[in-house]
A and B are shown apart, each in its own frame.
Chain A
């Protein structure tokens, strides 16, 4: 059977086709800057990236090529800070997991945190934003409580607490992310994300809605939200509206699309009760805003920003209070494309003078690099535990920068490593035995 197409119609079709192709091209060129469909474009680009990865045999996001065969490559027991180590990572089944390991790399406790099993009904997440494949989300802010249970965030999905046997104690259906940090009064501060309320949308006319904005949430160990602080509000109350306007460089129109992550809160840190105060004092909260290369310290009672530093680091993570005047920062230094060799750094910032010094690596130390993610922990004996996330590696250095422990998250020996989202040394009260008895108490030996 044939279709009879009159010649003028055929010609018209051809012209339309050429026009449509040209139109589609022009639209494609201009849409990322101005189009209201920028979100869709973003998803499309992600999908294309995944297709390209699959065709080229690239690792999925979360796996890394490596010929590493040994889990622990450096171990100087004398020099290490004592204690078990918590590792939040991606496992061999491409699931998110949290495990507790000894210095020899033996696993003494493990939680498999499979989103699909733990949260089969995530009605608080829009359909399009619900995870479609493994691992649904990375685990962030893992905290082990006194009863050996685990509290953590599924990145941008929600918070949960599991007992030592991986039973769900509660789930908090609120979009939480990154950090989870004891507030010193038995509760926790975490990164949150909330739909911008109508009246706020009027205050920030350049933020196209509907839009999620970063919040800071205080959560009880029972999973109740006690307090929510909006990040745009904190900035505007402190006459710092300009920080909401960094991601656009157009001349006239300063508005940004719904999906543009203007701040990217990635850590909330509370000044420790037992630290000697200086410029900073107990109760102060330090926030890291990655997309504007900025760290701020606020007094939560007055909501006043008492300290702020911009531009001394690139895409930083995890600032920690060292003392009343000093901050240590995991500076990803993500300032180059992937094919350029570059090192992330642990830097020390003196808040009184604003001076920045590189703590690690100094000139003779080997580099480490993670373009995104990353954590570090200043240990009581002066050591630092560094998570080189996209090297699938945790590294402990002593005060003279000598490696004293190195751990790899091996997925397939000699082939593949899994990303480590965070590594942290646990207090010595937590032992293999104490985890075993906690498991017994909840039913699995």
Chain B
């Protein structure tokens, strides 16, 4: 009997150790001069947000000698993230990149405990000594996407699937509608919220609901555009991608264009700063032309639309801010006075839909 208990407990301990070993974050790169730790809320194979970071960090590991990257995927946005971050620091990570908005509290707590480790948090908030914040400003770039949608739509109804209605997502759909309205005053955007960054079944149902409502161009702000683009393509609609320009492979007929992130130059600079001991936390938001790129156009996009989109993209890259007052929200309340603007660092606090977006937030 006691032998049985001993054997069983031994088996459990062994299983636990094996599980722990197998669960350790995946690493790649050469012998470490700098270890970068990256934490993802989803999988890096998502044709979307997480993949954009994975691709960029892999690029940094290739370009800079002595850089090694450790990654942890599918880490929930809760206090559990703290233990993952601590684990990475114990493995020697000197630059930690929490990539999802929901890791804010956990990463700030860990950063305060480890002032010798640099953090670059993908989101907003005040930077601290060793805690930088950054993001690619897609909201103004979405204006160019709206121009594409406004020109390509035949029903004047555009669809937009939102995951979580944080300020950045609302800014995206607002930028989209502003761009569409600028070339097609009758264009309206229907906004549907699924409630999560990556709820595939709801995304499929949301895309179908939008198409049922007569929207013929659909864009999105969710972690992976894959499900929505495939659902739209299956019903003959057109799509505008987001997060990763690789998503165009999913819609050979209906792809118009899309936005993607290019984090590699930014991370290369930050990695160099950390290795030289010169890192200091700042708020860095860059948009089109730097961290954000426009995807290649699909086969059905006529040349005049491509020109218009490129022109709008150049304007945005040159500093044009579509979020300039006077702007009313879709309930008629004025949100921006004449001349008022929403700056890149204030985007996280946006909480209204612009006039022309069909949807409610309360």
Whether chains A and B associate is no
